[in-house]
Amino acid sequence: MSDVLPVTLFTLGVALLGTLLILPGGVALGWLLARRRWPGKALVETLVALPLVIPPVATGLILLKLFGRRGTLGVFLERTFGIEIVFTWKAVVLATAVMALPLLVRTARVAFEEVPARLEQVARTLGAGPWRVFFTVTLPLARRGLLAGCVLAFARALGEFGATVMVAGMIPGETITLALGIYHEVQLGHDGAALGLLAVSVTLAFGALAASEWLLRRRAP
Amino acid sequence: MKLELHDVRLRAGEFALEVDAELAGRVTGLFGASGSGKSTLIEIIAGLRRPATGRIVLGDTILTDAAAGVHLPPEQRQIGYVPQDGALFPHLNVAGNLRFAERRGRGAQQVFARDHVCELLGIGGLLAREVTGLSGGEQQRVALARALVSAPRLLLLDEPLAALDAARKTAILPYLQRIRDELGLPMLYVSHVPEEMMAVCDDMAVMHAGRILQHGAVEAVFRQPASLEVARIVGVETVQPARVLEVRDGLATVALGGARLAALADGLPSGATDVLVSIRAEDVILLQAGGAWQTSARNRLASTVRTLTSEGATVRIELDCGFPLVAVLTRQSADELGLAVGGQICALVKAPNVHLIPRA
């Protein structure tokens, strides 16, 4: 029923968008966790890690309650911007973004922790302000780890199912990704179509993980 | 240029730093064991750590004034900082590291041109190299050059030779001396090696447990430690309690163990009776016992050799001359004297080399 190509492109697009959405915030948060001490740090750390440890469906339910018609954020977004999230493609992006965030933040944090603080301090004494130090010393030295984190987040977003199905439903042509499509086709008894989607899905995930491995391994000179 | 540290305090767990000093020498050494607070003080001056209280003034620039909430960020201080490992940026090559530092804002008063600095430090041929491929000594020279081209008004060197082997150390010392002599840039030099202090510094401050115990000319501190603690830190070998018997014509006679020693009495408060005697091992001369030569040395002590310890090219000799005395000789001298444990020998110490430290 569902065409392989549109679903693949939709999945890629959604995963890319979800990753881009969390990129600035995730990198900033990773840096804050690695380099600064602040009140509430432990709480934020736990919140960000939550989607890793609770069932994806539970995360989806939380999102549904938050962004639904009667959810706090849902009402706010609807009234202020007239945006409806749940059961649209936007919900797919939201779900993949939330599920991918922990991986990005954790990898970014480790990447920043591995940059010697001494180099940043010396850069300051050489006349560079905090922003210049971040962009010319910290970021270049952490870049492989950050790239690997992006690839990991992207791969996670590609395969996301549980949270997506809760918050976006399974609407053909609207919210069906590769993962959702596989389930959908099997439900309908279209095993052949499901296997086709499976093959694409495995190929994409394999490629993303291989890229991540390669980037991580290249970090050690 | 004068660096004033007024009542600078910082507490970190068990460690407390408390410094009040004016450092005005060309090159001032900060001397002390690890954990004494030297590096912490350097980081405070560089602006990398914020003291709890105090004022730090360089020339006419207020760097830190805790009471007024002033804390100039490191990038505005124009203070070069070279840590032990050099801290070169591994993602840039040598030229890139120098360029990073050169991009300081206009209005910098003291600019050392890159070409001049490269020539001074002999790194002209390294510019295209990756920093990860440099030897330890080359890395330190590049780190020095990078700090110099950032137009510093003061250079902080935190054990810049500590990571190098003996040969590389010796090779880099002349470069430090050239910076000192040719650029006229004031420097603070952190080390725990007496020889580096003597080679590079004019003044030195001895640090222990977060405080400066003594501050003065390098020679003066080594020859006349102000206290037993300083004597131990700077490594004077013989430190013994003694009693002042007599002071006459600027010369003091002290009794320690069964021996009597003559020492210069300057710096000794009148009426002081209990003192510590410190004698640097290098200042002890040994003479074959029974020799009748006339010498100018005031102190001629009949001694017994207790131990002989070989230390590379030198021999460390512990003597008993009524009190324990340590001497250091070259191996050749020790051989020629035919020193043997239990043998008799005569120890000579000039009165000016016997330092009297009043006991608190």
CATH of the domain at B241: 2.40.50.100
Higher pLDDT, A49 or B45: B45
Q: Are B50 and B28 in contact (CB under 8 A)?
A: no
Among the listed residues B266, B195, B203, B187, the one whose alpha carbon sits nearest the alpha carbon of residue B234:
B195
Of A125, A137, A221, the CB nearest to B89: A137
Q: What's the pTM value of the predicted model, to 2 decimals?
A: 0.76
| Confidence grade of residue A221 (pLDDT, cut at 50, 70, 90) | very low
- Report the residue of chain A nearest B89, measured CA to CA: A119
pLDDT cut 70: percent of chain A above it: 97
Q: Are B205 and B212 in contact (CB under 8 A)?
A: yes
- Report the residue of chain B nearest A116, measured CA to CA: B87
**For residue B198, what pLDDT is reported?**
75
DSSP class of residue B92? S
Is B61 inside any structural domain? yes
Q: Decide if B101 and A141 are in contact by the 8 Å CB cutoff.
A: no
Of A116, A124, A137, the CB nearest to B75: A124
Q: Decide if A119 and B89 are in contact by the 8 Å CB cutoff.
A: yes
Among the listed residues B184, B183, B185, B226, the one whose alpha carbon sits nearest the alpha carbon of residue B204:
B226
Do B212 and B254 sit in the same domain of this protein? no
Domain that holds residue B162: 3-223
Number of domains in chain B: 2
Bridge partners (DSSP) listed for residue B248: B251
Q: Write down which residue in B167, B199, B223 finishes a domain.
A: B223
Interface of B with A in 54-83 (CB under 8 A): 73-75, 77-81, 83
Q: Decide if B150 and A118 are in contact by the 8 Å CB cutoff.
A: no
**For residue B142, what pLDDT is reported?**
95
Q: Decide if B81 and A129 are in contact by the 8 Å CB cutoff.
A: no
Higher pLDDT, B227 or A43: A43
Q: Write down which residue in B170, B197, B223 finishes a domain.
A: B223
Among the listed residues A107, A85, A110, the one whose alpha carbon sits nearest the alpha carbon of residue A155:
A107
Contacts of B83 in chain A (CB under 8 A): 118, 122
Min CA distance, A133 vs chain B (Å)?
A: 10
**For residue A114, what pLDDT is reported?**
94
Q: Decide if A126 and B150 are in contact by the 8 Å CB cutoff.
A: yes
Higher pLDDT, B293 or A198: A198
Do B100 and B152 sit in the same domain of this protein? yes
Higher pLDDT, A128 or B165: A128
Q: Decide if B48 and A136 are in contact by the 8 Å CB cutoff.
A: no
Interface check for B98 against chain A (CB to CB < 8 A): the answer is no
Interface check for B48 against chain A (CB to CB < 8 A): the answer is yes
Residue A62 clears pLDDT 90, i.e. is over it:
yes
Q: Are B267 and B327 in contact (CB under 8 A)?
A: no
Phi, psi of A84 (to 5 degrees): -110, 130
Do B295 and B175 sit in the same domain of this protein? no
Instruction: Indicate which CATH number applies to the domain containing B92.
Output: 3.40.50.300
Q: Write down which residue in B197, B223, B249 finishes a domain.
A: B223
Is B179 inside any structural domain? yes
**For residue B104, what pLDDT is reported?**
56
Do B92 and B135 sit in the same domain of this protein? yes
Min CA distance, B101 vs chain A (Å)?
A: 5
Provide the 3-class DSSP secondary structure of residue B290. coil
Interface of A with B in 133-192 (CB under 8 A): 136-137, 140-141
Instruction: Please enumerate in sequence order all residues whose Cβ is within 8 A of that of B12, keeping only pairs 6 or more positions apart, or say none.
Output: B40
Tens-digit pLDDT profile for residues A190-202: 999 999 999 998 8
**For residue A19, what pLDDT is reported?**
95
Is B160 inside any structural domain? yes
Do B201 and B247 sit in the same domain of this protein? no
Provide the 3-class DSSP secondary structure of residue A181. helix
Residues in chain A: 221
3-state helix, strand, coil in chain B (%, to 5): 30, 40, 35
Of A116, A124, A136, the CB nearest to B74: A124
Tens-digit pLDDT profile for residues A100-112: 999 999 999 999 9
Residue B110 clears pLDDT 80, i.e. is over it:
no
Burial letters A181-208, b for 16+ CB under 10 A, else e: bbebbeeeebeebbebbbebbeebbeeb
**For residue B106, what pLDDT is reported?**
52
Do B289 and B219 sit in the same domain of this protein? no
Contacts of A118 in chain B (CB under 8 A): 83, 85, 87
Tens-digit pLDDT profile for residues A19-42: 999 999 999 999 999 999 899 999
**For residue B232, what pLDDT is reported?**
77
Is B230 inside any structural domain? no
Average pLDDT, chain A: 90
Residues in chain B: 360
Residue B79 clears pLDDT 50, i.e. is over it:
yes
Rounded mean pLDDT of A45-60? 91
Residue B351 clears pLDDT 50, i.e. is over it:
yes
Instruction: Please enumerate in sequence order all residues whose Cβ is within 8 A of that of B223, keeping only pairs 6 or more positions apart, or say none.
Output: B280, B353, B355
**For residue A211, what pLDDT is reported?**
81
- Compute the radius of gyration of chain A from its Cα atoms: 19
**Distance, CA of A141 to CA of A136 (rounded, Å):** 9
Do B332 and B202 sit in the same domain of this protein? no
**Domains present along chain A, CATH in parentheses:** 4-219 (1.10.3720.10)
Is B282 inside any structural domain? yes
Query: Going edge to edge, which strands form the sheet with B259-264?
Result: B259-264, B251-256, B238-248, B274-279, B355-358
Do B67 and B161 sit in the same domain of this protein? yes
ipTM at complex level: 0.78
Residue A220 clears pLDDT 70, i.e. is over it:
no
- Compute the radius of gyration of chain B from its Cα atoms: 24
Instruction: Please enumerate in sequence order all residues whose Cβ is within 8 A of that of A178, keeping only pairs 6 or more positions apart, or say none.
Output: A7, A8, A11, A158, A159, A197, A200, A201, A204
**Distance, CA of B217 to CA of B202 (rounded, Å):** 6
Residue A219 clears pLDDT 70, i.e. is over it:
no
Do B126 and B269 sit in the same domain of this protein? no
**Distance, CA of B148 to CA of A126 (rounded, Å):** 9
**For residue B107, what pLDDT is reported?**
55
Tens-digit pLDDT profile for residues B332-341: 888 888 888 9
Min CA distance, A153 vs chain B (Å)?
A: 26
Min CA distance, B86 vs chain A (Å)?
A: 9
Do B121 and B182 sit in the same domain of this protein? yes
Residue A54 clears pLDDT 80, i.e. is over it:
yes
Rounded mean pLDDT of B205-234? 86
**For residue B108, what pLDDT is reported?**
57
Do B187 and B269 sit in the same domain of this protein? no
